[in-house]
Amino acid sequence: MRRAQALYLSLTLIAVFLCSSLIGVAQEGPGRVVQIRKIEPAKVKTPEYQLLKGQFMATTRDWFQITTSYETAPDWLDDLTFTYYVLMKPKSGPAKFVLFKGDVTYVNIQKGKHKSDMYLHPSTMARYGDVERVAVVLTTQGRVVAMESLPASQQRWWEQLTPVDGYVLNRMQTPFAMVNFDDYEAIKAVGPGGR
């Protein structure tokens, strides 16, 4: 009887230890894999490239850039997808707000500090007005590992509207592709059909 009680007590202690370990891992939460440090929106001018001496330069326009500084904890991540949401308030028209969405996936991300950026074309800014809010959701292997909103919000406001794809561009879709190239991780190539 005492052996059975001792065995039961041992199994109970092991179960409590395992549960507390799992709770500890759960409490570390999303910030353990990736932590968003800062989201910085800014208007930036189109970069100027001079190909020929004396070439005519057109007037540069304003793009809307969103830069996310983040830090990764694992030695390597196979991939990390950033989904950017941009809420705009049109200058006129029936819609009160328009929500744009864009994704970029980086590959082979080494442990440390990194940057991600996405852009709105000057024509998008001219047509749809002012940026009201920005949110970034990070996923790896289909799992959300971090999210942040600017201005900060406890609510997932980006889930309240149907987003429109194709307006939030990654740097390889813009003239900024070669600017400070080594400051950014490699972007996963998109194959035929968008996959």
Specify the number of domains making up the chain.
1
pLDDT at residue 93, rounded to an integer: 74
**pTM, whole model, 2 decimals?**
0.78
Q: What domain range is 91 assigned to?
A: 29-48+58-194
Half-sphere exposure of 17 (CA within 13 A, CB side): 6
Task: State how far the Cα of 16 lies from the Cα of 94, in Å rounded to an integer.
Answer: 58
Residue 132 is given by DSSP the state: E
Asked if the structure places residue 187 within a domain, the reply is: yes
Asked if the structure places residue 39 within a domain, the reply is: yes
pLDDT at residue 154, rounded to an integer: 87
Task: State how far the Cα of 68 lies from the Cα of 102, in Å rounded to an integer.
Answer: 14
pLDDT at residue 54, rounded to an integer: 67
Q: How many Å separate Cα 70 from the centre of its chain? A: 9
Residue 48: which of 176, 193, 135, 180 has the closest Cα? 176
pLDDT at residue 59, rounded to an integer: 77
Residue with tokens 């304003």: 62
Asked if the structure places residue 13 within a domain, the reply is: no
Mean pLDDT, each 10-residue run in order, the chain (195 residues): 46 38 37 88 88 69 96 96 96 84 97 97 93 96 95 92 96 94 91 58
Residue with tokens 């949110």: 135
Asked if residues 116 and 133 have their Cβ atoms less than 8 Å apart, the reply is no
pLDDT at residue 192, rounded to an integer: 64
Neighbouring-strand partners of residue 101: 85, 165
Asked if the structure places residue 18 within a domain, the reply is: no
